[in-house]
Amino acid sequence: MHKEWQLQEAKSNFSQLIKQAASGDAHTVTVHGKPVAVVVSAQEYARLTRREGKLSDALLQPGLAADDLDISRSRDTGRAIAL
């Protein structure tokens, strides 16, 4: 279940909002009808922000096609300016 709360409503029912989020429901908080925050459980937040591995490990994978990466260096040294 995904529920929207106006900021004033979320503030006045904060305990209820937290209990529902802790049970696994995501809740959006809005200000003037625009979403500004989403309240989720700590477990869901940890899942969403968990790192799967190091970037260096991913780049060293043999399946990574070198043709897909442009790692050439520009030889442009900038422009000459008079000081």
DSSP 53: S
Q: What are phi and psi of 9, to 5 degrees?
A: -65, -40
Domain-embedded: residue 34: yes
Within a domain: 66: no
Strand partners, 30: 6, 35
Classify residue 46: in a domain, yes or no.
Answer: yes
Q: Residue 29 belongs to what domain range?
A: 2-52
Alpha carbon distance 61, 57 (integer Å): 7
In the chain, the number of structural domains is 1
Give the CATH number of the domain where residue 33 resides: 3.40.1620.10
- Per residue in 56-81, pLDDT (tens digit) is 777 777 666 666 667 778 888 888 88
- Please state whether the predicted TM-score (pTM) of the whole model is above 0.95: no
Q: Does the residue 62 lie in any domain? A: no
